[in-house]
Chains A and B, each alone.
Chain A
């Protein structure tokens, strides 16, 4: 007995301690749960199957490619969906030190404009090329907002191959919108400007906004075979701000719709001045009729000055052509071509549903989402249900074209896409949510909070005749606490939402590069099989390409130019010893990558060059320009880890003082002498 008591006595403190620890843990558990709820409510909204829904096993490929614009980085980011893996960054309007785009002699011309070399832009809207109203995976069109430009990316190489400057435009935001078979890519100006009708903006008092300022909408013709762009004509429109556009489909496929704001024509403090009217306009343009008018001689011509830059497929060299004329139409002279539909308060997004019947206008300051009916619009035009006109353009009666209003959708509606199953999804910037509503009765059926303040949203093919209604990507403007903090500047956040069921399910957050505005996505099998693995050396037509090591050369041309025609192959460059260059010479390194294998790029950089490296894909030739400023010996090397002996892939170039008598010599391995250049 005693022993039992002593045992109990001994054990009691331990038991008590155990109890206390257990209670403490339980309490802590409680406080932990409540703590997490207040800290990040979002975690509870994540679907329990989310991890498996977005898991793409190592070595497996994503279901879709998505192309997110980079906004102020002037690039496009390519992400795999559903994994959110970053696959590539495609430089478009911005120099890219990573591969020498915009730095190499071949690519500089891509960034030429009538304002000179502009190595940056604000890229907002990617749009995939279309066939019969469906994305076909051939090209991606994107806009440059700041210095108006439209670019085309070839999706067999994921390279920017063409950039067209847009004259008579400022702030090319309402751009680029391809018609259902890429007949035209359409670009509208956000800033109206005073046109001098000679290719420039006029030197006009800013008080004269109302009288002098005009907008323009450009119609770029696209070659059906090779995608080449050509500015066919422009329509000069009233001096509003043209915000966004989208083309019709099916019954409405001859039409393109544009949102406008600042119908008040305020020239200053637009924040207030452009927000006075209860209604601005949705502009509807019959592009087929416009093209017909332009063809039948209604178009006038004015002098212009704009650049058209094209990358040649075989030389990998960009060439600029300066265009000196542009044709234009005036809507007041072209009956039936353009109408204005009143739309509540500074509308932003205009999106046409897959049937082509509903035009959904998201007025960022409006309390409801108006849905216009294309058939009612046709009826109203026929019956002349006009509410006056603006600059000679008929204004249709609001009630005559309105189908319905989506009531109490949320705050700050911006953009709408469709799932092809009769539902629409609208982004709400102010209330920070995605709202799902039905096209059949315009009732809201579901809401999903997003983090934070969503701008555009995207459903793969959500702007086409047949959307792929499985995923939705929300591109959010504010990030704050979503990821580990990285100082004041944060990555923007995107969120992947499963929309296959009745209720939306949050699947994934992923950080993005710069600021995605809009995005496009397409099934991988429409793009992946056409992806080029390397360029064929036989088809390389670069004027300074050398296709065999034996043909590599260094030559002095004229007084101050030295041309190095170099080859790169694992793991050496030919030549790798160069002498006879002088201070102040302009040295061109034309490097040809002789590899004919997948994923073996070589890079090239030389010490002190005032430019970026150049990255040369197999079979291609790229040129780095270097002007040495001091005598000495300068190393150069391959910058892309190409092989086990990559670190050995290097060479030296000797620079002698100006007027030195060191002859040009070059070699790789054993020394061989070349004839001395004739120029003294």
Chain B
């Protein structure tokens, strides 16, 4: 592998660091009496929002429909996900240093699987919160569930919910695309090396 490929691979690994700097996902809520909006920010290691008290305000609104209160403690993922990300950063850098094409592909594949698993896990939580409601809730709408959208927007009673990946997810996207790019570029280089070698053989 050429030096620039190795550098690119290191960039791919390090771009996962964005997950520690920005939220992965954002859920925006808008209602007539919330002109300023409410934003729930999902990080790799914590929950946050547009203000310090977004979770409390989410929970106050949600308790009327019997949704379980959302607390960072309820999600084991927030404990171990950071280690997975660190694992990918470290192994990514190692892969770059070793410079083996197949390892690049393997790293990329694993990251895709991990990303997909993360999104699936996120979706399962949304379903759990949206359907597993307290039967004694003050507001009960027959047949109504409150699964927030995974991607895009959805109207839930008086709230308009919009769910979008945030800058942290860009880290995963960059990790995957850059590593695939490395794989692709190094293949061209490898095949060129092949042809050069064969030319020498001919001479």
A interface with B by C-beta (< 8 Å): 569-571, 595-598, 644-645, 648
B189 CB, min distance to chain A CBs, angstroms: 57
Q: Which of B56, B138, B139 is in CB contact (< 8 Å) with A596?
A: B56
Once the chains are docked, how many angstroms separate the CA of A598 from the CA of B36?
A: 10
Q: Which residues of B contact A (CB under 8 A)?
A: 36, 52-53, 56-57, 60, 64, 138-139
Q: Are B138 and A645 in contact (CB under 8 A)?
A: yes
Q: How far is the CA of A645 from the CA of B53 in the complex (A)?
A: 21
Contact sample, A vs B, 12 pairs, CB 8 Å cutoff: A569-B60, A571-B64, A595-B60, A596-B56, A596-B57, A597-B53, A597-B56, A597-B57, A598-B36, A644-B64, A645-B64, A648-B138
Residue of A nearest to B56 (CB): A596
Given contacts A645-B64, A645-B138, 15 further A-B contacts (CB under 8 A): A569-B60, A570-B60, A571-B64, A571-B138, A595-B60, A596-B52, A596-B53, A596-B56, A596-B57, A597-B53, A597-B56, A597-B57, A598-B36, A644-B139, A648-B138
A648–B64 CA distance with the chains assembled, in angstroms: 12
Measured between beta carbons, the chain B residues less than 8 angstroms from A648 are 138
For A644, the chain B residues whose CB sits under 8 A away are 64, 139
- Which residue from chain B places its CB closest to the CB of A597 in the assembled complex? B57
> A642 → chain B, closest Cβ, in Å?
10
Q: Nearest Cβ in chain A — how far from B47, in angstroms?
A: 15
* Distance in Å: Cβ of A426 to nearest Cβ of chain B: 44
CB distance from A571 to the nearest CB of B (A): 8
A596: chain B residues within 8 A (beta carbon): 52-53, 56-57
The winner among A571, A597, A644, A648 for most chain B CB atoms within 10 A is A597
| Residues in B whose Cβ lies below 8 Å from that of A598 | 36
Contacts of A597 in B (CB 8 A): 53, 56-57, 60
What is the distance, in angstroms, from B36's C-beta to the closest C-beta of chain A? 7
- Nearest CB of chain B from residue A340's CB, rounded to whole Å: 57
Determine the distance from Cα of A597 to Cα of B54 in the docked complex, in whole angstroms.
Answer: 8
Residue in B closest to A669 when the chains form the complex, CB atoms: B136
Chain A nearest CB from B40 CB (Å) reads: 14
Q: How far is the CB of B158 from chain A (nearest CB, A)?
A: 10
- CB-CB under 8 A from B64, the residues of chain A are 571, 644-645
CA of A76 to CA of B57, assembled, Å: 33
Residues in A with CB closer than 8 Å to B60 are 569-570, 595, 597
A569 to B57 CA separation, bound complex (whole angstroms): 10
Q: How far is the CA of A210 from the CA of B117 in the complex (A)?
A: 94
Distance from A547 Cβ to chain B, minimum over Cβ atoms (Å): 12
Bound-state CA distance A402–B64 (Å) is: 74
Q: Across chains A and B, which 9 residue pairs bring their CB atoms closest together, nearest first?
A: A596-B53, A597-B57, A570-B60, A596-B56, A645-B138, A597-B53, A569-B60, A644-B64, A645-B64
Least CB separation from A648: chain B residue: B138
In the assembled complex, the CB of B139 is this many whole angstroms from the nearest CB of chain A, namely: 8
A570 to B52, CA, bound (A): 18
- Closest Cβ–Cβ distance, residue A179 to chain B (whole Å): 39
From residue B31, how far is it (CB to closest CB) to chain A in Å?
12
B36: chain A residues at CB < 8 Å are: 598
CA A644 – CA B57 in complex, angstroms? Answer: 15
A598 to B56, CA, bound (A): 13
Residue ID in chain A nearest B35 by CB atoms: A59
Task: Kindly state the separation between the CA atoms of A596 and B50 in the bound complex, as whole angstroms.
Answer: 13
Q: Measured between alpha carbons, how far is A133 from B191 in the docked complex, in Å?
A: 78
Bound-state CA distance A334–B60 (Å) is 66
Within the complex, the shortest CB–CB distance from B135 to chain A, in Å, comes to 15
Q: Which residue of A lies closest to B33 (CB)?
A: A599
Q: CA of A595 to CA of B60 in the docked complex: distance in angstroms?
A: 9
Q: Within 8 Å CB of A570, what residues of B? A: 60
Contacts of A571 in B (CB 8 A): 64, 138
A599 to chain B, nearest CB (A): 9
Q: How far apart are A105's CB and chain B's nearest CB, in angstroms?
A: 27
Q: How far is the CA of A596 from the CA of B57 in the complex (A)?
A: 7
Query: Shortest CB–CB separation between residue A75 and chain B, in angstroms?
Result: 29
Closest to B53 in A: A596
* Chain A residues, Cβ within 8 Å of B56: 596-597
Minimum distance in angstroms from A644 CB to a CB of chain B = 7
In the assembled complex, which residues on chain A have CB atoms less than 8 Å from the CB atom of B53? 596-597
CB distance from B80 to the nearest CB of A (A): 28
Question: Measured between C-beta atoms, what is the minimum distance from B62 to chain A in Å?
Answer: 11
Cα-based distance from A596 to B51 in the complex (angstroms): 10
CA distance A598 to B34 in the complex (A): 9
B73 → chain A closest CB, angstroms: 15
Q: Which residue of A lies closest to B38 (CB)?
A: A597
Shortest distance from the beta carbon of B202 to any chain A beta carbon, whole Å: 77
Q: How far is the CA of A570 from the CA of B64 in the complex (A)?
A: 9
A598 to B57, CA, bound (A): 10
